[in-house]
Structure 1
Amino acid sequence: MTEEFTIRGLKDLEEIEKIPYTERAREKSTTELLEKGAAIDPEAPAISFLTSGDAYDKPMVLSYSRFMGGIRQTANMLHDLGIGPGEVVTYILPNLPQTHYVLWGAEAAGIANPINPLLEPATIKEICASAGTKILVALGEMPGTDIWQKTEAIIKDIPSLEYVIRVNGPSDPSQNILGFDETVAKYPSDHYTFDRDIDPDETASLYHTGGTTGTPKLARRSHYNEVIMAYDLQMMGGFTTESTLLCGLPLFHCNGTMVTGLGPFAVGAHIVLLSPMGYRDPSVMKNFFKIVEKYRAEIFSAVPTVFATLLDLPVDADLSSLKYAICGAAPLSVELFKRVETHTGIKILEGYGLTEGAVASAINPKDGERKVGSIGIRMPYQSMKTAIVDDSGQYVRDAETNEIGAVAIKGPNVFKGYVEASHNENIWLPDGSFNTGDLGKIDEDGYVWLTGRKKELIIRGGHNIDPAIIEEPLYKMAGVKTVAAVGKPDPYSGEVPVAYVQKAEDADISEKQIMDWAKQNVGEKAAVPKEIMLVNEIPLTPVGKIFKPALRHDATRRAYESELEALGDLAESVEVTVEEDKQHGTRADIRVKPAPGTDMETIREKINELLARYTVYYTVEKKA
C-alpha cells in the first residue's frame, strides 16, 4: 500500500515537511522512479489504451512488466543510435503507448524534447534547432493527421539531426529513417544494455513553453525536478497503487506526462489513455461518463473547456468512483464551477502550475476547504510568495498578505532555466525564487488568488500563445502600421487570440485581407487570430509603448456585449464597461435598463446563465 496523506491546510503541509524531502524522494532519476513503481506489482495494469471513445470497452492493456519492457527497449535503441547524456530526442506524437516509451526511454538515455504536433513546420524546425535534436521520433502517415508531412518538410533543415524514427511506418535506410516497431524489437526488454549513473541535476527534458519564431523558449528540467514533483503529486493528490486515473491531456504537455504519467506510475497506479486525440476526440467526450464507470476512475485532470463540454452531456453512468477532478492551465469561472459540480456531482480541485515548476505548485486541498476561485495552497516542499517588482521586472520587496504582486515559486521542483540565455533575464528574484509573470495575492490562510498576468501570454484552452507569434508576421504585411494581439474571453477556450491593427496612413487594406494574411503567415494554427479589429489608434503608454490592458478590456467588453444581446426584449438597453480591479484583476460593470414589466432579478439570472462560462469577474446594476 502507498502511504496516504490527509491535507486540510498549511499545518498538514508543515507536518509532512518535518521529514526532509531528500528522505522521501530518494530516487535520483525518473528511470529509477519508474522502475520502483513498476516493481510493486509487475502484472498490474500500467496503461489501458483506448483506440477511440467508441471502443472504450475494448482497451489494449499493458502490464507494468510490458510497459517497462517497452521503455527499456526504447532506451537501449536510442543509446545504440548514439544518444547519451546531454543529447536530445525530440518527439512529435499523439497519445500512444509508444509516446511513453519514447519519453521515458529518452530520459533514461539522454534528454527528451516533446513537441506539440499542431505547430507549423517552421516552428517545429526552430524548436529542433534550438534543442539540438539528434533523433526525431514522429508518427508515420495516418488518416486525420499531418505529422509525417510536417516531419518530411523539415528533416533536411535540422543540422544536428542524425536519425528519424517513424512510429507506425516502415524503415527507409536511404533516408536514415527507422521504423519504430521493427527497430526496437531488436533490443532486450528485461535490462538496459548500457550503464548510466544519472546525477539528479542532469537535464531530463526540454519542454517548449512558447517563444517567437527563431527563439523558442525551452525549459530545462532536471531528473530530480521531475522526481520530487511525482512525490508532490502523490502526496497532494492522494492517489495510490490501487488508483485509476484518466489521461486526456496531450503527452507533449507536462500535465499529461506528469499528473497522469510519472506521478501515478511512480506508485504503480493505472492510467487509462483516452485515445490518441484525448479530450479532442468527440467520441471520448460523448462516452466520458461511461468510461469513468467502466474503469472505476478516481481522478482526471482537465482544462476549463473540458468541463464546459461535460456540462452539456447527460450523466448516463455511475460516477461514484470519482474522488475529484483537477482543473488547471486556465481559470475556471465560479459560475461554471458550481454548475458542473451540480450537474455531475464531480468534486473539482482548482490548481496552478507551470512547466518551469515541473507542473504543479498549488492546489485546493482535497481534504480541506476549497475556496472557489482560488488556486489553493502551495504544495509540499515548495514555497510560493508574491513580490512587488518595478516596471523593468526588478525586485522591490515581498508583498503583504492580500496585496497583489508577482507570483514567485521556489523549491526542488523548479527548473534550471531556459536553453536560450536571453530568456533567463530577470526571471529570478534575489532569494532564488522564479518570477512566474503571473499576478496574484495570498490570503491569511495561505490560499493563492490569481488576479491577472504581467506577461502577455494568451491561454487558449490551456495552450500558451506568445502574442509575438501573431504580431511579427502581421507587421510584415504592407500597409500595417501597428499591431497588438491580446486574448479575448471565450466561453469554451477561456481565451482566443484577437489582433488590433492600426493601418499606415493612406493604406487600403481590409480586416478580411489582414485575416487572410494571418492565416497564411502565422506559424501556429491555434495562434491565428479569431478576429481582426481595425482601429484608428492603438493606445500607448506615456513613454510610447503599446498599452495592452486597454485592448484586453476592450476585447472583454466586446465579448460580453455580444453575449448580452441574448437578453433581447428583457432589457431596453445594456452598457458594459471594463476596467482594472484591485481584487479581481479585471472587472466588467454591466448596467441594464430593464424593459417595462421586467424585474432586475430575472435579468440577473439570465446574465448569470449567459456569462456562466466566462472567467472575467462582473457586476450587474440597474441603469436609471
Structure 2
Amino acid sequence: MTPAGLPPLTSVADLHEIERVPLADRDLAHTTYDLLVRAAQRWPDAPHSVWIPDATVIEDHVPVTFGGLRDRVHAIAHALHGLGIGRDDAVTLMAPNCGDLLAVTLAAEAVGIAAPVNAALDVRHVAHIVRLTGSRVLVAAGPELDEALWKRLLNGVPDFGIEVLVALSPDGAGRAAAPALEARPGLRTVRLDDLVADGPAAPAGLPAAPPAPDDLAAFFHTGGTTGTPKVAAHTHRNQAVMAWSLAVAGGSDEGQGIVAGLPLFHVNALLVTALAPLVSGARSIWPGPLGYRDPKLYAGFWRLVEHYRPRVMSAVPTVYAYLSAIPVDADISSLEIPVVGAAPLPDSVRRMFAETTGLQLLEGYGLTEATCASSATLPGDVRPGSVGQRLPYQTVVAAQVDEASGTIRPLPAGETGELVIGGPTVFAGYLRREGDRRRVSADGVVDGLLRTGDLGFVRDERIHLRGRRKDLIIRGGHNIDPAVIEDALLGHPAVAAAGAVGRPDRASGEVPVAFVALSAPGITVAELTAWAADHISEPAARPKSITVLDALPVTEIGKPFKPALREAAAARHFRAELAEHGIDGVEIGARYEAGRLVVRLTGGAGAAAAAVLRGYDVEIRLDAEEAEQ
C-alpha cells in the first residue's frame, strides 16, 4: 500500500523509477516546520498521535490532531522565544515520552535547535553534551512525570550553565492541580504550561522567521551509557528528506497506525514514528512514557494491537525477543509491517517471532549520522542476510578506504569493504567546542561520503552487513570478523544472542572470546565450544572461551554494547592470570578510554599484580595509595 501522493516503492525497479525524477524537482517540504504546516493544512482534524499515559491501561489515551500539534508547537515556540531562544540556540530535552516532549522538540527546531538527551546518562555526560551544544534552557520531565529525574537535574544543572529548567507534565494532567516547583540559586524553574499561558492566546505562526533548509535542526548524541558521547548535527533538509523517504518506504497510509515505543531521544523515534507520519497522514501510538522500556507493557501488548489496529511497528531485536515469548491472545491481523533495526537480528529471534505471530520481521539499516535509515526491507522482499534495499536518493557502496590519505575507492558489487553513504541525509557533522565557540566538524565525511565504520557489501541495491570495522579482532596481525563467530553461535538452536570480542593476549595482541545468552536451559559451555569448532572453519577465529550471561549488555535503545564485553573479558582474563600467580585481594577494573584499555588495580598487592601483567598492550594504573609506596 502506498500513501496517497507518494510514489510506489515495492521493488528495486520502483527505486530506480523514483530516482528518474531529480529530488529538487519534487514538491517536498525541506524543513520540519514546513512538514508540520503542510500536514496540518491537509489533515487538520485527523489524529497525528495518541498518547497512552499508563501502559497498563491501554484503552486510556490522549489524542493529538495534526492541527492541534501545529497550534501547540506555535504556542511553545513563542514561549521558547520569550526565553531568548533564537536560530542558533540549542534547547536540551530530557524526559520520557509524552505529547509535549514531541511538541517541544518540533518547536525547538522551528525557532532554534532541539537537543534530545538520554535521561539515563549520568550528570557528567549530560554536562559534556550541554557544554558542546551551548544550551542554556533544559526542558525536562517535571516531578509528576519523573520525580527522580527532576530532582537529579534540579541539583545538577546549575553547575554546567543551564539557566532555565522547564518542567513537562504527564499526558492528560490538569494544570490547576500542579504544585509550585522548587528553585535553586541562579536557576529559574517553570512549568511549560505556565510559560505557554503567559504568551499569545492563539498564535497563528512563529515568533520569528521560519527555518531554512540548511539551518541546523537538531543535535543528537550517539553512543551508549558509558564513554563520552559524540553529538551529531542534523539540518532541516536532512530530517525533512528522510521523513519523506521513510513514508515512501512503507509508512502507513492516512489514518493507519504505527506503534511508537522507542524513546524520543533516539533518532528513530523522531523520524520514523513522528515526522514520517507528517508526510503520510499516519497515526502514531505511544504506549506509555517508557514505551518498550516498560516491562509492564508486554503483558498487554497484543491487546494494544487489537485495540488500536496499527499496521506498522518499529522496534529493536530485544523487543521482538520479548514479544516472541508472549502467546498471541488477541486479534493482531492489522499488523503487517514489523520493522526491526539498530542491532543485528539473531536468526533465533526472527524464527521465534514468525512462529508466535506468523509475521516476518523486516530489517533496516541506518545511523544517526545519516539521519536515521539508509535501507529498508520491503514487505514480500525478505532476503536472507540482507538488511534491505537502499532508500531513494541515497548512495550506499562498499569501499576500500586508504587510512593515510582518506581516499575512498568503491569496490565491485558483492565485494566486502567499509560501507559509505552519500546523499541529502548525510549529517552536517559532529559538534566541537573551541573555547566559547561551537562549531560543526564534518569528521568522517570525505567528498560528501559518510564513512560508517560498518563492513558489508552491496548487491542489486541491497545491503549486507559484515560487522563493525572497529570491532575487528586482530590476532597476530590477522583480521577476524566477529560476525563469523557470532553467526556460528547464533546458528545453535539454544543461543538467543551472541557477542564476540577480542581480549588481550601477550603473544597475539588479542584473541577472540565470545559471550552468549541462551533461549533454552541445559546447554553447557563444552557443547557450545564444540559447536563453534564444528561451525567456524577458520581455526584462528574459534573463540578461546565462551561465557554464558543472562543477557548481553545493550544501550538504552537495545543496541549491543561491546565495550562492556571487551572490558569484562579483559578483567576476567587478568583475574585468572593473577590467581595462577597466587595473587588475590586485588580489585581489577578494566575500561576503554579514548580507544585504549586502561586497567586499574586496587588493593595491597597492586604493585605485584602490575608486575605480573606487564607485557600486555594495556595501560595499568594503581590506586593512589599503592602508587605512592
Q: How far does residue 190 in structure 1 lie from its aligned partner after superposition? A: 4.1
For 1:451, the equivalent position in structure 2 comes to 466
8 Å Cα contact 1:5/1:236 also seen in 2: no
| Inter-partner Cα distance in structure 1 for 2:48 and 2:431 | 33
- For residues 388-440 of structure 1, the C-alpha deviation after alignment (integer angstroms, 9 at most, x for no partner) is 124558335211222110011111111111112899576123x4210011110
8 Å Cα contact 1:304/1:494 also seen in 2: no
- For residues 565-602 of structure 1, the C-alpha deviation after alignment (integer angstroms, 9 at most, x for no partner) is 824699799363499989xxx97699xxxxxxxxxxxx
| Inter-partner Cα distance in structure 2 for 1:239 and 1:149 | 39
For 1:619, the equivalent position in structure 2 comes to none
The letter for the 2-side match of 1:449 is: H
- For residues 447-484 of structure 1, the C-alpha deviation after alignment (integer angstroms, 9 at most, x for no partner) is 111001013499xxxxxxxxxxxxxxxxxxxxxxxxxx
| 3-state secondary structure, aligned to 1:103 | helix
Residue in structure 2 matching 1:66, options 53, 64, 68 = 68
| Inter-partner Cα distance in structure 2 for 1:575 and 1:457 | 22
- Asked if 1:559 is matched to 2:516, the reply is yes
How does the TM-score come out when normalised to structure 2?
A: 0.74
CA distance change for structure 1 residues 89 and 567 in 2, over 3 Å: closer, same or farther?
A: closer
The letter for the 1-side match of 2:256 is: S
Q: How far does residue 240 in structure 1 lie from its aligned partner after superposition? A: 1.8
8 Å Cα contact 2:251/2:276 also seen in 1: no
| Inter-partner Cα distance in structure 1 for 2:244 and 2:528 | 57
- For residues 295-341 of structure 1, the C-alpha deviation after alignment (integer angstroms, 9 at most, x for no partner) is 11010100000010011001011111112111000011223212212
- Asked if 1:176 is matched to 2:188, the reply is yes
8 Å Cα contact 2:30/2:241 also seen in 1: no
For 1:395, the equivalent position in structure 2 comes to 407
CA distance change for structure 1 residues 92 and 378 in 2, over 3 Å: closer, same or farther?
A: same
8 Å Cα contact 1:442/1:448 also seen in 2: yes
Residue in structure 2 matching 1:427, options 441, 444, 448 = 444
Q: How far does residue 152 in structure 1 lie from its aligned partner after superposition? A: 2.0
Residue in structure 2 matching 1:106, options 81, 105, 108 = 108
8 Å Cα contact 2:496/2:516 also seen in 1: no
Q: How far does residue 24 in structure 1 lie from its aligned partner after superposition? A: 2.6
- For residues 29-59 of structure 1, the C-alpha deviation after alignment (integer angstroms, 9 at most, x for no partner) is 1011111112222221122111122211111
8 Å Cα contact 2:291/2:297 also seen in 1: yes
| Inter-partner Cα distance in structure 2 for 1:250 and 1:219 | 17
1:180-579 aligned within 5 A: 180-187=192-199, 188-210=201-223, 216-366=229-379, 368-390=380-402, 394-395=406-407, 397-420=409-432, 424=441, 427-429=444-446, 431-443=447-459, 445-456=460-471, 537=505, 541=509, 547=510, 550=511, 553-554=512-513, 556=514, 558-559=515-516, 566-567=522-523, 574=530, 576-577=532-533
Residue in structure 2 matching 1:21, options 23, 48, 57 = 23
8 Å Cα contact 1:163/1:176 also seen in 2: yes
| Inter-partner Cα distance in structure 1 for 2:559 and 2:22 | 41
| Inter-partner Cα distance in structure 2 for 1:33 and 1:614 | 29
| 3-state secondary structure, aligned to 2:530 | strand
Q: How far does residue 614 in structure 1 lie from its aligned partner after superposition? A: 13
For 1:505, the equivalent position in structure 2 comes to none
CA distance change for structure 1 residues 382 and 345 in 2, over 3 Å: closer, same or farther?
A: same
Equivalenced residues, count = 516
- Asked if 1:34 is matched to 2:49, the reply is no
For 1:7, the equivalent position in structure 2 comes to 9
8 Å Cα contact 2:120/2:225 also seen in 1: no
8 Å Cα contact 1:387/1:405 also seen in 2: yes
CA distance change for structure 1 residues 499 and 402 in 2, over 3 Å: closer, same or farther?
A: closer
Structure 2: state its 5+ residue gaps.
Answer: 170-177, 435-439, 474-481, 545-550, 553-557, 561-629
8 Å Cα contact 2:216/2:234 also seen in 1: yes
8 Å Cα contact 2:429/2:443 also seen in 1: no
| 3-state secondary structure, aligned to 1:43 | coil
Residue in structure 2 matching 1:154, options 128, 147, 156 = 156
8 Å Cα contact 1:113/1:207 also seen in 2: yes
The letter for the 1-side match of 2:216 is: T
| 3-state secondary structure, aligned to 2:222 | strand
8 Å Cα contact 1:90/1:112 also seen in 2: yes
The letter for the 1-side match of 2:53 is: T
1:133-144 aligned within 5 A: 133-142=135-144
Please tell me the root mean square deviation across aligned C-alpha atoms, in Å.
3.7
Greater alpha carbon shift after TM alignment, 266-275 vs 405-414: 266-275
For 1:132, the equivalent position in structure 2 comes to 134
| Inter-partner Cα distance in structure 1 for 2:496 and 2:128 | 27
8 Å Cα contact 1:579/1:588 also seen in 2: no
8 Å Cα contact 2:46/2:255 also seen in 1: no
8 Å Cα contact 1:441/1:448 also seen in 2: yes
Q: How far does residue 7 in structure 1 lie from its aligned partner after superposition? A: 2.5
Q: How far does residue 387 in structure 1 lie from its aligned partner after superposition? A: 0.5
The letter for the 2-side match of 1:447 is: R
8 Å Cα contact 1:244/1:299 also seen in 2: yes
| 3-state secondary structure, aligned to 2:255 | coil
For 2:54, the equivalent position in structure 1 comes to 52
CA distance change for structure 1 residues 144 and 138 in 2, over 3 Å: closer, same or farther?
A: closer
Structure 1: state its 5+ residue gaps.
Answer: 459-485, 501-534, 542-546, 591-609, 616-624
8 Å Cα contact 2:393/2:424 also seen in 1: yes
8 Å Cα contact 2:271/2:372 also seen in 1: yes
| Inter-partner Cα distance in structure 2 for 1:283 and 1:68 | 32
8 Å Cα contact 1:120/1:150 also seen in 2: no
The letter for the 1-side match of 2:465 is: L
For 1:462, the equivalent position in structure 2 comes to none
CA distance change for structure 1 residues 253 and 189 in 2, over 3 Å: closer, same or farther?
A: farther
| Inter-partner Cα distance in structure 2 for 1:499 and 1:572 | 18
| Inter-partner Cα distance in structure 2 for 1:446 and 1:31 | 32
- For residues 215-234 of structure 1, the C-alpha deviation after alignment (integer angstroms, 9 at most, x for no partner) is 64111100010000011001
Q: How far does residue 496 in structure 1 lie from its aligned partner after superposition? A: 7.7
8 Å Cα contact 1:126/1:213 also seen in 2: no
| Inter-partner Cα distance in structure 2 for 1:382 and 1:341 | 31
| 3-state secondary structure, aligned to 1:264 | helix
How does the TM-score come out when normalised to structure 1?
A: 0.75
| Inter-partner Cα distance in structure 1 for 2:496 and 2:144 | 27
| Inter-partner Cα distance in structure 2 for 1:580 and 1:162 | 57
- For residues 164-199 of structure 1, the C-alpha deviation after alignment (integer angstroms, 9 at most, x for no partner) is 111236455763111112222233344235231422
| Inter-partner Cα distance in structure 1 for 2:28 and 2:495 | 42
| Inter-partner Cα distance in structure 1 for 2:151 and 2:269 | 25
